[in-house]
């Protein structure tokens, strides 16, 4: 009976231990349930359908029309225009010339205060007179020494000293005469004179103003020849055309027109505007085309192989301009490099790389990839 009681006690103890283990596992029960659910969710599922191809806007490539023209605006300037300024520092005393005045060669246009330069001239004249007198005395002394030397009345050293004194006096005279010439030039430079006949086109200093050496005081235009000055973003369009292929009309009166030919193209772009300056010389301009007038220049588009597209089509491929060409049959886009002849703010002129009839993507080119599957969207007219 004792053995039976001992067995019952052991069974009761075992049950108590199992119950205690079950209690310790109760906090982990939610995690075990979540793991079981996730394992059951990993079973086979139906695949998601692929995303439809992205629709893109496009434009059909068409060649530019023969004879189409591009209008640009510019101003009329003098063919030869010179900026004038004083060669000395000083305060302007008078300035009789005004904008629009016609002046002759040698006419005084402005003057500086000349009291200082006049004093320098008088000092140079006095120094020259003194040097000339000293040279004359040294020359007479040398002449006497040369006459006395054969008779032995003087030593050879005295003759050499007289010769040296004369040479020094002659050198001083030459230096004084050069200083006198400089003083005379400085006095003349206090007057600003016209180097040639022409018209005053601009004045930038007035009487009483202190100016520095070389500072522009006024601008002088010579002759009746006139130029049209334009700032353009595509200088190649001018160099590729015949030199006499430009027709210029007044903006205020388009009926007044003249022919022009290319004079020069600036070799470097302006650092601020990134444009090149082009000058066209007018051939026999009418009197109504005055200096400063605004004009319009027509550029003929002579190459029918040029394609005009919106500027939004451009992207890059290996640091070269490119576009995305739409292949409607394959439903994909291909990036292709092109050659640009010129451009405007809204259009780009493609010289090569495309053929007529091809479709080019016009929107969202920055997010497209070469060979990406797309769908035809709206066609841009």
- Do residues 358 and 309 touch, judged by C-beta distance below 8 A? no
Give the pLDDT score at 237.
67
Compute CA 208 distance to the chain's CA centroid, rounded to the nearest angstrom: 36
What angle, 0 to 180 degrees and rounded to 10, lies between the N-to-C axes of helices 156-189 and 115-148? 160
| Dist. CA 135–CA 114, nearest whole Å | 31
Element (H, E) at 134: helix 115-148
Give the pLDDT score at 5.
47
The angle formed by the CA atoms of residues 359, 362 and 363, to the nearest 5 degrees, is 140
Handedness of CA 354, 298, 245, 240 (dihedral sign): negative
SS3 299: strand
Torsion of CA 210, 213, 214, 217, to 10 degrees: 20
| Dist. CA 125–CA 120, nearest whole Å | 9
Ramachandran sector of residue 84 (left: φ over 0; alpha: ψ -120 to 50; beta: rest): beta
Q: Which residues of the chain have pLDDT under 70?
A: 1-48, 64-70, 236-237, 239-245, 300-305, 344-345
SS3 83: strand
| Count of CB atoms situated within 10 Å of the CB of 327 | 13
The architecture that CATH gives domain 57-65+305-379 is: Beta Barrel (2.40)
- Do residues 298 and 315 touch, judged by C-beta distance below 8 A? no
Handedness of CA 29, 32, 38, 43 (dihedral sign): negative
Give the pLDDT score at 6.
54
Sort 36 into a burial class: Cβ within 10 Å, 0-12 / 13-18 / 19+: exposed
Q: What is the pLDDT of residues 57-112, one digit of tens each?
A: 888 888 765 545 667 889 998 888 899 999 999 999 999 999 888 899 999 999 99
* Domain 70-78+223-300 indexed as CATH 2.40.30.170: yes
DSSP character at residue 373: B
- Do residues 258 and 284 touch, judged by C-beta distance below 8 A? yes
In DSSP terms, which residues pair with 219 in a beta bridge? 83, 202
Concatenate the DSSP letters of all residues of 177-246 into one string.
HHHHHHHHHHHHHTEEE-SSSEEEEEE---TT-EE-TT-EEEEEEEEEEEEEEEEES-THHHHTS-TT-E
The domain made up of 114-189 has a fold known as Helix Hairpins (1.10.287)
Concatenate the DSSP letters of all residues of 101-124 into one string.
-EE-TT-EEEEE--HHHHHHHHHH
């Amino acid at each position: 009976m004792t053995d039976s009681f001992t067995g019952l006690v052991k069974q009761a103890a075992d049950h108590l231990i199992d119950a205690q283990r079950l209690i310790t596992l109760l906090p982990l029960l939610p995690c075990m349930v979540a793991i079981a659910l996730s394992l059951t969710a990993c079973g086979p599922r139906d695949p998601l359908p692929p995303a439809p191809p992205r629709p893109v806007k496009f434009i059909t490539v068409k060649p530019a029309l023969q004879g189409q023209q591009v209008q640009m605006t510019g101003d009329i300037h003098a063919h030869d225009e010179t900026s004038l300024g004083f060669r000395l520092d000083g305060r302007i005393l008078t300035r009789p010339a005004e904008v629009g005045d016609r002046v002759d060669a040698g006419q005084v246009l402005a003057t500086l205060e000349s009291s200082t330069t006049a004093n320098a001239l008088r000092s140079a004249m006095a120094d020259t007179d003194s040097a000339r007198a000293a040279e004359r005395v040294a020359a007479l002394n040398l002449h006497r020494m040369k006459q006395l030397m054969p008779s032995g009345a003087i030593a050879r050293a005295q003759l050499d000293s007289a010769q040296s004194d004369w040479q020094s006096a002659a050198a001083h005279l030459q230096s004084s005469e050069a200083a006198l010439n400089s003083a005379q030039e400085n006095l003349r430079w206090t007057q600003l004179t016209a180097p040639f006949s022409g018209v005053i086109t601009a004045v930038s200093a007035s009487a009483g103003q202190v100016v520095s050496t070389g500072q522009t005081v006024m601008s002088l235009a010579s002759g009746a020849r006139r130029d049209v000055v334009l700032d353009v973003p595509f200088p190649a369009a001018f160099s590729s055309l015949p030199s006499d292929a430009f027709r210029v009309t007044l903006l205020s009166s388009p009926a007044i027109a003249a022919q022009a030919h290319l004079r020069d193209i600036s070799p470097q772009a302006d650092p601020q505007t990134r444009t090149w300056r082009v000058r066209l010389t007018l051939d026999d301009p009418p009197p109504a085309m005055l200096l400063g007038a605004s004009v319009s220049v027509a550029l003929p588009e002579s190459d029918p192989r040029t394609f005009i597209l919106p500027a939004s089509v451009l992207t890059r491929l290996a640091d070269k301009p490119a576009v995305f060409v739409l292949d409607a049959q394959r439903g994909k886009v291909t990036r292709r490099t092109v050659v640009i002849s010129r451009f405007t703010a809204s259009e780009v002129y493609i010289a090569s790389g495309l053929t007529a009839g091809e479709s080019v993507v016009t929107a969202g080119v920055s997010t497209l990839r070469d060979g990406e599957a797309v769908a035809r969207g709206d066609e841009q007219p």
